[in-house]
């Protein structure tokens, strides 16, 4: 009877699948049971109550209010925001730099293309951890002490304790400028839609980009000046040990951000290059034959098609960058791993619980990025009409 079932191709495949699933469940049941037994043997409990206890440690970079009396949960939130900060900044910078490098690499200027080639090969063939340590080392060892900080036009102060910038202080009338900005943005969006309609109906093309940019910059600026420039800057001043006041970017943040951006940009530039190269020369020639100008061809014909090649591997790079940010631990940037997965773990001894939390957080970061990139990929996918 069983043999008969086994000989049948369909039932055999069902049997194999059932057995596999049963084994898989047995495996997970075993490792979970193992964990529970070992925790019991050590006399440890499994609970997340520790999250409510005061964390008792300080964090040097917190985007939200945090003191050593705040809870472990709050410390975790600070860590999540710090990871998000470096991931978002890194993704933006890596994308911009990567696209620029990718385009330059294709340029007909021999020197520029070669220089970029050398940069890319150097950057992507050295482990990202070394980039992080190298940049951190450069900042800490070669930038001057806060007393001799390099003053860049009163806007940036470079020192080995971080880069300081003046902090904007908004006075009462600033709300008008904000309103003007919002109005300008809405106006620009409407104008763009209208211009598109006109173009589709009559073929008349407006310089949409320059007009939009003009409106978004000029309108708020005029309102800002009319309302009496309601904005002052709090300058960093030298205290006894450090520059005080202003906004500071710590060396750890800078090192991590720059290293992740440069490293990932090298990969992105190659993805961009492959995307552009994937579009056959015939597309350029066809657009040229229709009398479309070169920059319009790039904008309307080449890039939309190249993006379809670029987006899926680009999404992987974004995921890599976010996960690589956990190397923060090497230089002491206070991300999730350093806060909840590091100090909290050590102070409470809740290895299992904290590691589960860290794992889930990275997982959700990655899933959010994936979901967004999939949505975008679908949007730009070839629509057959």
Partner 1 sequence: MLKRASFAVAAVAAVSIASGAQAGTLDDVKARGILHCIVNTGLPGFSFTDANGRWSGFDADMCRSVAAAVLGDGEKVKFIPATGKTRFTLLNSKEGDVIFRNTTWTFVRDVDVKLTFIHTTYYDGQGFIIRKSKGVKSAKELDGATVCIQTGTTTELNLADFFRANKIKYTPVPIEDSSEARKNYLADRCDAYTTDASGLAATRATFEKPSDHVILPEIISKEPLGPVVRHGDNQWEDIVRWAVFALIQAEESGVTAANADQMAKSPPNPDVARLLGAEGDLGSMLGLDKAWALRAIKAQGNYGEIFERNVGPKTPIGLERGLNALYTNGGLQYAPPFR
Q: Which residues would be at the binding site for partner 1 (CB under 8 A)? A: 13, 16-17, 19-20, 23-24, 26-27, 30-31, 34, 41-44, 56-60, 67-69, 140-141, 145, 160-161, 239-242, 244, 251-252, 329-330, 332, 334, 338, 342-343, 345-349, 351
Task: Give min distance, CB of 86 to partner 1, in A.
Answer: 16
Q: Which is nearer to partner 1, 228 or 349 (CB)?
A: 349
Q: Which is nearer to partner 1, 140 or 279 (CB)?
A: 140
Task: Give min distance, CB of 131 to partner 1, in A.
Answer: 18
Under DSSP, is residue 168 helix (H, G, I), strand (E, B) or coil? Answer: strand
- Work out the number of other CB atoms within 10 angstroms of the CB of residue 20: 10
Q: Which is nearer to partner 1, 162 or 220 (CB)?
A: 162
Task: Give min distance, CB of 56 to partner 1, in A.
Answer: 5
Query: Among 146, 145, 126, which Cα is nearest to 135's?
Result: 126
- DSSP label at residue 343: I
Q: Which residues contact 171 (CB under 8 A, 6 or more apart)?
A: 230, 231, 232
Contact 217, 209 (CB under 8 A): no
Phi/psi-derived region of residue 246, left when phi > 0, alpha when psi is between -120 and 50, beta in every other case: left
Instruction: Name the token pair of 57.
Output: 């440690």
The dihedral built from the CA positions of residue 100, 105, 108 and 111, taken in this order, carries a sign that is positive
Following DSSP, what letter does each residue of 257-305 receive, concatenated?
HHHHHHHHHHHHHHHHHHHHHTS-HHHHHHHHHTT--HHHHIIIIIHHH
Task: Give min distance, CB of 349 to partner 1, in A.
Answer: 3
Strand partners, 168: 233
Task: Give min distance, CB of 44 to partner 1, in A.
Answer: 6
Please list, residue by residue across 251-270, b when 16 or more beta carbons sit within 10 angstroms of its beta carbon and e when fewer do.
Answer: bbbbbbbbbbbbbbbbbbbb
Q: Which is nearer to partner 1, 29 or 277 (CB)?
A: 29
Task: Give min distance, CB of 80 to partner 1, in A.
Answer: 17
Task: Give min distance, CB of 347 to partner 1, in A.
Answer: 7
Task: Give min distance, CB of 202 to partner 1, in A.
Answer: 59
Instruction: Name the token pair of 297.
Output: 């061809």
- Work out the number of other CB atoms within 10 angstroms of the CB of residue 277: 12
Q: Which is nearer to partner 1, 73 or 140 (CB)?
A: 140
Q: Which is nearer to partner 1, 146 or 275 (CB)?
A: 146
Task: Give min distance, CB of 43 to partner 1, in A.
Answer: 6
Q: Which residues contact 15 (CB under 8 A, 6 or more apart)?
A: 5, 6
Q: Which is nearer to partner 1, 57 or 181 (CB)?
A: 57
Q: Which is nearer to partner 1, 29 or 218 (CB)?
A: 29
Q: Which is nearer to partner 1, 348 or 377 (CB)?
A: 348
């Amino acid at each position: 009877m069983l043999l008969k079932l086994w000989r049948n191709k369909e039932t055999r495949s069902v049997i194999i699948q059932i057995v596999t699933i049963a084994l898989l469940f047995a495996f997970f049941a075993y490792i979970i049971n193992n964990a529970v037994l070992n925790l019991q043997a050590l006399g440890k409990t499994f609970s997340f109550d520790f999250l409510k206890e005061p964390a008792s440690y300080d964090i040097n970079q917190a985007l939200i209010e945090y003191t050593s009396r705040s809870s472990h949960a709050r410390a975790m939130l600070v860590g999540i925001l710090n990871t998000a900060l470096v991931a978002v900044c890194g993704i933006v910078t890596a994308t911009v730099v990567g696209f620029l490098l990718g385009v330059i690499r294709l340029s007909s200027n021999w020197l520029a293309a070669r220089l970029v080639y050398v940069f890319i090969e150097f950057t992507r063939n050295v482990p990202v951890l070394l980039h992080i340590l190298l940049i951190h080392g450069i900042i800490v060892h070669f930038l001057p002490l806060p007393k001799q900080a390099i003053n860049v036009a009163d806007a940036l102060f470079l020192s080995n304790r971080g880069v300081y910038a003046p902090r904007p202080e908004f006075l009462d009338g600033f709300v008008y400028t904000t309103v003007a900005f919002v109005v300008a943005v809405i106006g620009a969006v409407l104008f763009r839609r209208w211009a598109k309609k006109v173009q589709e109906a009559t073929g008349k093309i407006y310089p949409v980009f320059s007009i939009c940019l003009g409106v978004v910059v000029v309108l708020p600026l005029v309102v800002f000046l009319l309302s009496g420039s309601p904005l002052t800057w709090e300058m960093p001043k030298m205290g006894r040990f450090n520059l005080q006041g202003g906004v500071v970017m710590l060396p750890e943040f800078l090192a991590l951000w720059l290293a992740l951006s440069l490293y990932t940009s090298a990969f992105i530039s190659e993805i961009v290059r492959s995307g552009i190269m994937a579009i056959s020369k015939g597309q350029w020639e066809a657009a040229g034959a229709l009398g479309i100008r070169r920059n319009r061809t790039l904008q309307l014909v080449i890039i939309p098609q190249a993006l379809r090649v670029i987006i899926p591997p680009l999404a992987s790079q974004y995921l890599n960058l976010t996960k690589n940010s956990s190397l923060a631990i090497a230089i002491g940037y206070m991300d999730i791993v350093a806060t909840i997965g590091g100090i909290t773990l050590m102070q409470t001894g809740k290895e299992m619980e904290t590691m589960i939390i860290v794992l889930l957080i990275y997982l959700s970061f990655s899933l959010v990025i994936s979901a967004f990139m999939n949505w975008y990929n679908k949007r730009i996918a070839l629509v057959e009409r």
